Structure 1
Amino acid sequence: MHYAHNLTVNVLYQMKLSTEQTLALAIALSHFTSKVSAWSPTNGYAPGTVSCPSTDVNFLRDATGLSSEESDWLALRNQQTQPALKKFIERANFADFNIEEFFDEIQTNITIALSFSGGGYRAMLNGAGQLSALDERTVNATEYGLGGLFQSSTYLAGLSGGNWLTGSMALNNWSTIDELANNNNGVWDLNHSILDSGGLNIFSTLGRFIEIDHAVDAKKAAGFNTSITDIWGRALSYQFFGSDFDGYAPLTFSSIKDGEAFQNALVPFPISVADGRAPGTLVISGNSTIFEFNPFEMGTWDKSVHAFTDLEYLGTHVTNGKPDNSDICVRGFDNAGFVMGTSSSLFNQFLLQLNSTALESALKSVWRYFLSDLDKHEDDIAVYAPNPFFKAEYAASTDVADSEYLYLVDGGEDLQNIPIAPFIQPERDVDVIFAFDNSADTDDHLPDGASVVASYERQFGIINSEASFPYVPDTNTFLAHGLTTKPTFFGCYASNLTELSRVPPLVVYVPNVPYTTWSNTSTFKMSYDADEKRKIIQNGFEVSSRYNMTMDSEWRKCVSCAIMQRSLEALNEPQPAECKSCFDEYCWDGSVYSGDENFTTSVNYTQTGNSQAGVPDRSSITL
């Protein structure tokens, strides 16, 4: 086993394995690597003090470009994505397009980003199915789905429930969706809500929350502020990481960078998104500061802060990035559950609705005890103190830099429920974003495009960086013109985007549609039995695959066209004729709701599918 663990990617390549075989084997080997290697130095939830990396270290940098770590990683990832993408496009079987010549001519690598919206467990499960259809490790994904797109992608972002999906994957050694759904060691066991994790066994539930209470008390005793997000994140960790080691209490988000699959760039670069908001203030898309967590850093491109800090050393007292005591730094503050809880802190409200739950009275009393000494003004806030951006010199505003605390909230509170901001920064030079929308914008818990509308509008605000987003219509147009019943491409032609600050990525918008099950569950539905879970994941697969390629047998080809478009434009090369047909089908044509058209915001589904989208009979395909 020790010999197997020491296999490197170079050795794997010498074995002449394919890209997918290399990824599968590397991930399998990484299961032998204990998560302990990246744990908090206290071996518990509480952060601990360590020696600083050097006496003159500065953890802060100006957000004027990518970090050196991300740039170095990208050089490795490009060696993986471009061969995988070439293989993916070859499967599209273009009739008259020379793929070899195209890849020889393009001057830069094609960069693909996958973005999964928030929306609680609904978003996590729908997103899981959508992602599984992109992953060639999924059975039948290559034949009936978009298998290989995950392997071809450079970036992967999640927000709130979408981050539960992407974080679960990354922090469980890049497990497949099928592996996560199997409930191994309690991972993704959703039979009971986190309020009564033991179900009928009240003593099991009490034991779980005694562990949580002790963990949060330990962080407080170590001198760190705690909030309800600490409790929320600790509770979620048992579902996301398993029951061992008290829900892997010492596991950190920065540990992702230590995994063999990530180190060798065999997987996309994962990003978690949250918003900055002080207690008692309101976040809107125009004034929000959008923070991202990635394996190396935490920070924001927005002008209000415009800085990044070393994620591994969060919790260290700093002034303008330099430790106040050059001998003492902190590690373990970036607890994996706490970061994922931060991105979904809106769900703190669920913890506060005790009177509306069916919990045993004893459990309600326990919960009230846990919540009794928390600041009621910080119900939906995660406290990051000390502030890693204290006295930062790069900020255009002093609001964050002058505060000893940094307050973060659910990344969807500014209406941008799809985490797109990290991928429209010019520094990342993304070509195409696949935006999976599992939001509950309508009364039927379905999307209406509000998230992409907010992202479009935000680019004109003063807080925004140099990000650019393609034109989109209003939400009434999304509903009236059926843009929520099938995928839609935005920003198809750069020649139509010249009035924007720069040419943005093409956006492939993929909304949740209930094809084979009612996937539009409530955001606050907190438990799913095994059958419900599997059905929603299956439906997500069908959303990504255009109902297993039965609604459009050319869907893989159309996706390939969207991926190649920016490169074709840069080469001043015409589209293949088949791409022109695809764009005629999927690109938003610029028309908007006139106010005279009749439409309903309610779903219009039959037992055989979505009558608006023309879904075939649900019994017509079996995977």
Structure 2
Amino acid sequence: MLPSSLLFSLAYNIATILAYSPTGDYAPGKVSCPSDASFVREANALSSQESEWLDKRHTQTQPALKEFLTRAGISDFNIEDFFDDASSNITIGLAFSGGGYRAMLNGAGQLSALDSNTRNANELGLGGLYQSSTYLAGLSGGNWLTGSLALNNWTGIEDLVYHDEGDGVWDLSHSIFDEGGWNIFKTLGRFSAISKELSAKKSAGYKTSITDIWGRLLSYQFFGSNNEASSGLTFSTIKDTEIFQSGYVPFPISVADGRVPGTFIINLNSTVFEFNPFELGSWDSSFKAFTDLQYIGTPVNNGEPTSDYCIQGYDNAGFVLGTSSSLFNQFMLQLNTTGITGLLYDIIEDFLAGLSDADDDIAVYNYNPFYNTTFGSSETALKSDDLYLCDGGEDLQNIPITPLLQPEREVDVIFAFDNSADTDDHLPDGASLVATYERQFAGIANDNAFPYVPDTNTFISKGLASRPTFFGCYSSNLTELSRTPPLVVYIPNTPYSTWSNTSTFQMQYSNDEKYTIVQNGFEVSSRYNLTIDSDWQKCVSCAIIQRELENTKQEQPAECQQCFDKYCWDGSLDTSGETYSYSLNATSGL
């Protein structure tokens, strides 16, 4: 049974309009082009749709934030005066790292502690922070979490994890590759259905890759088996749901990396792409463009359709989630690691053989929606017939922070949930923050500024990788950066009540494992149900208001100074020359 602290009441009961492919199935379909069809814009501002949506969202987040700050009870801080004097709305971003099911389950618990609809989250966690947040970014396993929420009509974590009858949406009791368990015919039937779906996409004139298979498997796991796992469901359907249109939920962003055709190098100069409910694109100088997501797959030249029809349905929901986690394509190709044997092994191996090639870790998007555009500098990629995207963590930025650093989004504070497996014990060591810090100097970023962070050895030796840490606390210390970055609250996975650091490639979890890891995630966000620090809600509130206090030249409350003394990185590095490993204790974990 799910621990009581995670029992939800359903937060929302709002009608939804689901947008499917015109074919009603996995294959994209032809539609009439809009009269003003020009799908690509320069990435020099927010889209008009996002700007309009933000106005609605802020009418929800600001009252929620007032309630959150009131409950925290910072002394000598007048909330009404603070908001009356505010120069702008406070914008909060949540970012959930990759890391397979470990990241998904830990992230679910971490997010539940932020949701005021979780039982005891207000009293023992950070309840209301989710309602106060504007952006919700996910990558790979973290994107399975955020995508599951958004594409199941923003259901609660309870419905994803647990039901009174059944196993919730996330039934992980069998490997995704062997969903039928003892029932081999169920598994074979699933692969047969997927084969037909890929054939239909090919017949419509589109290339397929192993990511198509991976995306369909994810759809069966996250969207249920009804209607062939919502085979025609699109990512852009999110924008058509009433709950999103009304601004009741955060703005979801899925992150992937670009790869130049014919190359195998992913580094900090690789282009970071985002999928959001309205658009696909990149702020980076290499592309510096966005395109209308619901029309990708349409043959275009500089954003203009080259035929008398347009395409919809290419942005299949599972395909987008699979793109952000295409690292698992390599796992699919190593069937000996999946636990599948016998006849089923032979059938799946044969099924994959026709798709395996040198680009097996990528997703192929054709036609290239940015073909022949002129905003970016990557001529090779912009002249390619296809767009190649891959797992968003392959550039070492396993926490999807880049979309939240864009100056146009004016994010004040980022909560970075790190469920990476940077160490032999499958625990994070801050490597993702180091990569994002270094990337701001790589020349490709859109004036991204990120606070100073230490090296990974210091993260471990000083305990920063096993407890929350604030980075960029005082803008006066950041004047050598291109601009003042958001304050970053780093929250790494730490095992408290269970050993939560499972392998990225563990593909099967019992219900007890699932429940206890989600519970541990709640404890990570709540500082072990506020038993490690009873002032944790207060300190988080101080991080949230800090940039606005600085912008309006208000004095920092004394209690916030105390919190910053406790949680802000002091700038020191470990120079001993020793190499450290984890040593968890009662205040950091098991």
Shorter-chain TM-score category?
over 0.9
Q: Could you tell me which of 74, 80, 87 is aligned with 2:60?
A: 80
**2:534 counterpart SS class:** coil
In structure 2, C-alpha distance between the alignment counterparts of 1:370 and 1:378, rounded to whole Å = 17
Q: Is the 8 A contact 2:96 2:399 kept in 1?
A: yes
| Alignment partners' CA distance in 2, 1:364 and 1:414 | 32
The whole-number CA distance in structure 1 between the counterparts of 2:168 and 2:21 is: 22
- How much does 1:546 deviate? 0.3
CA-CA distance at 1:581 after TM superposition: 0.3
- The answer on 1:189 being equivalent to 2:171 is yes
2:65–2:129 Cα contact (<8 Å) kept = yes
Task: For 1:28, give the aligned amino acid.
Answer: N
1:279–1:381 contact (8 Å) kept in structure 2:
no
Query: Which of residues 105, 114, 136 in structure 2 aligns to 1:156?
Result: 136
In the alignment, which residue of structure 1 is the partner of 2:115? 135
Shift of 1:355: 2.5
| Contact 2:466–2:588 (Cα < 8 Å) also in 1 | no
**Using the alignment, how far apart are the partners of 1:357 and 1:177 within structure 2?**
27
Alignment of 1:541 onto 2:522: yes
Instruction: Name 2:318's counterpart in structure 1.
Output: 337
**Distance in 2 separating the partners of 1:253 and 1:95:** 44
Aligned to 2:77: 97
CA spacing shift, 1:62–1:614, aligned 2, 3 Å: closer
Alignment correspondent of 2:394: 413
More displaced 10-residue stretch of structure 1: 156-165 or 390-399: 390-399
- Cα distance change, pair 272–614 in 1 and its aligned pair in 2 (3 A): closer
Tell me how far 1:600 sits from its aligned partner: 3.0
After superposition, give the CA deviation of every residue in 1:50-96 in whole Å (9 maximum; x if it has no partner). Answer: 00011x41000000000000000001111000010010000001222
Determine if contact 1:66/1:428 at 8 Å carries over to the other structure: yes
> Do residues 28 (structure 1) and 10 (structure 2) align?
no
Q: Compared with structure 1, are the counterparts of its residues 394 and 96 closer, same or farther at alpha carbon in structure 2 (3 Å cutoff)?
A: same
- Work out whether 1:288 is the aligned partner of 2:273: no
Q: What secondary structure does 1:435 align onto?
A: strand
Letter of the 2:256 partner, please give it. A
Tell me the distance in 1 between the aligned counterparts of 2:91 and 2:510.
Answer: 37
Conservation of the 8 A alpha-carbon contact between 1:135 and 1:141: yes
Q: Does 1:268 align with 2:250?
A: yes
Q: Which amino acid aligns with 2:41?
A: R
1:120 to 83, 100, 115: 100
Partner-residue secondary structure (3-state), 1:441: coil
Q: Does 1:306 align with 2:278?
A: no
Note the alpha carbon deviations across 1:526-576, whole angstroms, 9 max, x for none: 010110000000000000000000100000000000000000001111110
1:364 is paired with a residue whose SS is: helix
Aligned to 1:621: none
Structure 2 residue aligned with 1:490: 471
Give 1:595 shift: 2.3
- How is 1:581-600 mapped onto 2 (pairs within 5 angstroms)? 581-596=562-577, 600=580
Aligned residue pairs: how many? 580
Q: What corresponds to 1:604 in structure 2? A: 583
Distance 2:300 2:472 in 1: 42
Whole-angstrom CA distance in 1 between matches of 2:345 and 2:534: 53
Amino acid at match of 2:76: D
Asked whether the equivalents of residues 129 and 536 of structure 1 are also in contact (C-alpha less than 8 Å), the reply is yes
CA contact (8 A) 1:186 1:243 kept: no
One-letter amino acid matched to 1:278: V
Render the CA deviation track for 1:433-478: whole Å, top value 9, x for unaligned. 0000000000000000000000000000121111111100110110
Asked if the contact 1:273/1:292 (under 8 Å) is kept, the reply is yes
Deviation digits for residues 295-339 of structure 1 (CA, Å, limit 9, x no counterpart): 0000000000000000000100000000002x3000000000000
- Structure 1 segment 357-396 matched on structure 2, within 5 A: 357-396=338-377
Task: State the partner residue of 1:10.
Answer: none
Aligned residue type for 1:244: N
Q: How far apart are 1:139 and its partner, in Å?
A: 1.1
* Secondary structure of the corresponding residue to residue 327 of structure 2: helix
Q: Is the 8 A contact 2:233 2:316 kept in 1?
A: yes
State the alpha-carbon separation in 2 of the partners of residues 451 and 402 from structure 1.
31
The structural deviation recorded for 1:284 is 3.8
Is the deviation greater in 532-541 or in 392-401? 392-401
- 1:185 Cα offset (Å): 8.4
Partner of 1:399: 380
Q: Tell me the C-alpha RMSD between the 2 structures.
A: 1.4
For the residues of structure 1 that align with 2:14 and 2:508, how far apart are their CA atoms? Answer: 32
Distance in 1, matches of 2:254 and 2:138, equals 5
CA shift for structure 1 position 614: 5.3
Does the aligned pair in 1 maintain the 2:159–2:169 contact within 8 Å?
Answer: no
1:466 pairs, out of 438, 443, 447, with 447
Note if contact 1:290-1:302 (Cα within 8 Å) is conserved in structure 2: yes
What residue ranges of structure 2 are gaps of 5+ in the alignment?
Answer: 1-8
Compute the displacement of 1:285 (Å): 3.7
2:542 is the alignment partner of 1:561: yes
Residue 499 of structure 1, aligned match among 476, 480, 489 = 480
Q: Distance in 1 between matches of 2:338 and 2:274?
A: 33
Q: Distance in 2 between matches of 1:317 and 1:154?
A: 34
CA distance in 2: counterparts of 1:186 and 1:335, whole angstroms: 23
CA–CA distance in structure 1, aligned partners of residues 338 and 275 of structure 2: 33
Provide the secondary structure at the position in 2 that maps to 1:345.
coil
CA–CA separation in structure 2 for the residues paired with 1:452 and 1:282: 23
Aligned mates of 1:75, 1:134 — CA distance in 2: 22
Indicate the SS of the match to 2:384: coil
Paired residue type of 2:253: I
Query: Aligned ranges for residues 53-72 of structure 1 at < 5 Å?
Result: 53-54=34-35, 56-72=36-52
Identity %: 65
What one-letter code is carried by the residue in structure 1 that aligns with 2:67? K
**What is the Cα deviation at residue 396 of structure 1?**
1.8
TM-score by length of 2: 0.96
The one-character-per-residue Cα deviations of 1:187-211 (angstroms, maximum 9, x if unpaired) are 2100011110011111111111111
Q: Is the 8 A contact 1:172 1:241 kept in 2?
A: yes
Structure 2: distance between partners of 1:573 and 1:186: 47
* Aligned residue number for residue 3 of structure 2: none
| TM-score in terms of structure 1 length | 0.91
| Letter of the structure 2 residue corresponding to residue 543 of structure 1 | V
Name whichever of 64-73 and 346-355 sits farther off.
346-355
Q: Aligned partners of 2:10 and 2:221: how far apart in 1?
A: 24
Deviates more, 1:176-185 or 1:537-546: 176-185
Shift of 1:357: 3.5
Deviating above 3 A after TM superposition, structure 1's stretches of 4 or more consecutive aligned residues are 183-186, 282-285
Name the residue aligned to 2:297.
Answer: 315
Match in the other structure for 1:199: 181
